[in-house]
A and B are shown apart, each in its own frame.
Chain A
Amino acid sequence: MTNLEKYNDSFISSLQVTESQLDGLKYQSVEGWDSVGHMGLIATLEDSFDIMLDTDDIIDFSSYARGKEILKKYDVIF
């Protein structure tokens, strides 16, 4: 599985969205991405990529696009 596939699957499974919804997806733009969903998403991403995000990065992780930028800091290449 590619990193992009793992990244997308994390969103799909955590937030109950479809792949077609990922582009432009932002915090609170769908029902599933509230504070509870956010914790689930971050935990899934940390497990998928075997990383531990800094608190500042968790706070800043406000969209599908922004998340990719953040994960690059953890050597996740898309």
Chain B
Amino acid sequence: MELIDAFWEKRNLGVDCTEITISNEDTVSQLEAITDLLDTIEYIVVKVPIARLDINEYLTKHDFVFIEANVNFQLNIKDAILTPLQQRLNNSIAYAEMNASDLSLLYVEIEKGLFKTDRILLDHNFTKLQAATRYINWIKDELARTAKAYKIVYKEDTIGFFTFKQIAEDVYYPFLAGLYEKYSQSGLGFTTLRKPIEEVIKRKGKLISTYASTNNPYVIRAHTQQGFSIHDMQYVYVKHNF
């Protein structure tokens, strides 16, 4: 069992937060041993492996709420799929690394509501502004490390974006992506998965590992359609002690 002081959530959400990741070897008694923490920390997030109903039941009895299943998708690059129509459209869509002006536009789009299904936005204890600020801070934090941000472009118009980092040898993680509001109903959502694949190919990488929430079935569908397979899943529970 791993306990992390998610100190960044004090900045993002204004709450003390602990994230707990349960592994298959962990037992309920380990949770019982930290009851004080579970009852006092302002915001607690617990990530549980699948098929651990004993943990699920314990958390539910202690006022935790199930908020999402977090799906780890992986794609071996050679298995990437595009339909003939998607290939045709993709040929007229480009991508490029963002500059400061592009990033400013991205942050505006996030504040307008680009992300709609994250566990912060869906949680009535938090606000739309907090959810947006959290995403912006996440991007800024990652860009200050090794991540890159890319804009997706159609006819000189930025239609969307993805952010991207290497997490292991030959393995890349496009941790956020989306279409901007003007193009949110264009049908071009597939490019937010396809362009990271192209970047991995350009870097001679082999594998993409990424995550999607079961609160966003559209993204789940998009991943499976392009050849991603489910590698792992966690159930996510949250509790507010404020």
Cα separation A34 to B224 with both chains bound (whole Å): 14
State whether the Cβ of B138 lies closer than 8 Å to any Cβ in chain A.
no
Binds A, one of B28-36, B37-45, B94-102, B181-189: B181-189
| Chain A contact residues: helix, strand, loop or mixed | helix
Q: How far is the CB of A74 from chain B (nearest CB, A)?
A: 15
Chain B contact-residue range equals: 10 to 19
Q: How far is the CB of B156 from chain A (nearest CB, A)?
A: 13
Chain A 40-72 interface residues, beta-carbon cutoff 8 Å to B: 42-43, 46, 55, 58-59, 61-62
Chain B 117-144 interface residues, beta-carbon cutoff 8 Å to A: none
Beyond A43-B83, A55-B154, is A61–B217 a contact (Cβ under 8 Å)? Answer: no
State whether the Cβ of B4 lies closer than 8 Å to any Cβ in chain A.
no
A27 in contact with B187 (CB, 8 Å): yes
Beyond A27-B187, A55-B92, is A39–B85 a contact (Cβ under 8 Å)? Answer: yes
- Measured between beta carbons, the chain B residues less than 8 angstroms from A27 are 185, 187
- Measured between beta carbons, the chain B residues less than 8 angstroms from A55 are 89, 92, 154
Interface size of A by Cβ–Cβ distance < 8 Å? 17
One of B183, B185, B221 near A36 (C-beta < 8 A): B221
B185 in contact with A39 (CB, 8 Å): no
State whether the Cβ of B107 lies closer than 8 Å to any Cβ in chain A.
no
- Measured between beta carbons, the chain B residues less than 8 angstroms from A5 are none
State whether the Cβ of B190 lies closer than 8 Å to any Cβ in chain A.
yes
B210-242 vs A: 1/0 string, CB under 8 Å? 000000011001100100000000000000000
B187 in contact with A28 (CB, 8 Å): no
Chain A residue nearest to B190 (CB atoms) is A35
B83 in contact with A61 (CB, 8 Å): no
B185 in contact with A28 (CB, 8 Å): yes
- Measured between beta carbons, the chain B residues less than 8 angstroms from A26 are 185
B179-200 vs A: 1/0 string, CB under 8 Å? 0000101111110000000000
State whether the Cβ of B104 lies closer than 8 Å to any Cβ in chain A.
no
Beyond A35-B222, A36-B221, A36-B225, is A59–B85 a contact (Cβ under 8 Å)? Answer: no
A58 in contact with B89 (CB, 8 Å): yes
Top 8 closest A-B pairs, CB basis? A35-B189, A38-B187, A59-B186, A27-B185, A34-B218, A43-B85, A36-B221, A36-B225
Q: Which residues of chain B have a CB within 8 Å of any CB of chain A? A: 83-86, 89, 92, 154, 183, 185-190, 217-218, 221-222, 225
* Given pairs A58-B89, A59-B154, 14 additional interface contacts (CB within 8 A): A27-B185, A27-B187, A35-B189, A35-B222, A36-B190, A36-B218, A36-B221, A36-B222, A39-B187, A42-B85, A46-B85, A55-B89, A55-B154, A59-B187
